[in-house]
Structures are given as structure tokens and as C-alpha cells.
Amino acid sequence: MSKQLDSSLIPSRIVLNKSKDCLTLEYAGDIRHQLPAEYLRVHSPSAEVRGHGRGQEVLQFGKRNISITAIAKSGNYAIQISFSDGHDSGIFSWDYLFDLGSNYQSKWAAYLQALQDAGQSRDPDTQVVKLV
């Protein structure tokens, strides 16, 4: 039995900005999500980022200057995004992209907190040292 895709979760338009660091997804009803490349990269649905099960997630860091190098449709349900660091194995389903856009503020805040807790930085080749 195949899962029916909610058509309201399928973007009517996808636009990559000129500097290739932000993807805009437009939906019916004037809904628009602007997703920075860094945000998409650190939330990639790939096994490299998510791991192979709960608790196996790998915190991504040093991705502040990342850009999108290519976008390819994957069937009728997703897109595959390639990034300037060579990462290209994540398949972003329409519902996952909508979730990323709808929950941007909370997901971004949680990511920044995880970076801080791990002593990592958004900047490449930077490590945060906590002095106690």
C-alpha cells in the first residue's frame, strides 16, 4: 500500500539565489520558506548526518560558508541537493523540506545549542575552547 503524498507539501516553485547559499521554496497559499544552504547541509537526511538509528546522529560543524552546487529531482517525492563540500547523498523529501521550513527557528536554535555544547563552531577550522 503506497503512502499518499499531501500535495500541499509539494513546492510550486524552488529558487536558488544568485550566491547559491539560500533555497526558497514557494507553496500554494502564499507560503514561502527560505532555507540557508548551511541549514540544509547540517540537517541533511543522509546516513552521514543522521546515522543509522536514533542516537547515532553526527553533529555537523564548520559549514557556515557552504553553498549549493546542484539540485536534482528524485522521483516525484524529493530533491537531491549537492553541496560545495562534496556532500550529495541526502534525499530531501517534500514533507521533510516543509518540516525544515515550518520549524526553522526551533531547529536552528537547537543546532546552535548543540554546537555550543560540543565546543564546535559554524566556521571551518575553528574550535571553541571553554575555559573553566
Which SS3 state, helix, strand or coil, does residue 1 take?
Answer: coil
Confidence of residue 2 (pLDDT cuts 50, 70, 90): very low
> C-alpha angle with apex 72: 9 to 88, nearest 5 degrees?
105
Confidence of residue 127 (pLDDT cuts 50, 70, 90): low
Q: What's this model's pTM, rounded to 2 decimal places?
A: 0.89
Confidence of residue 13 (pLDDT cuts 50, 70, 90): very high
Q: What is the pLDDT of residue 74?
A: 94
Which SS3 state, helix, strand or coil, does residue 57 take?
Answer: coil
Q: What is the pLDDT of residue 1?
A: 42
Q: Which carries the bigger pLDDT value, residue 55 or residue 113?
A: 113
Whether residue 72 contacts residue 8, with contact meaning beta carbons closer than 8 Å, is answered with no
What's the Rg (C-alpha) of the chain? 16
Which contacts qualify for 2-10: CB closer than 8 Å, 24 or more apart?
Answer: 5/76, 5/77, 5/94, 5/95, 6/95, 9/94, 9/95, 9/97, 9/98, 10/94
pLDDT digits 0-9 by tens, 88-106: 998 999 999 999 999 999 9
Strand 91-93 with 22-27, pairing: unpaired
pLDDT digits 0-9 by tens, 17-37: 999 999 999 999 999 999 999
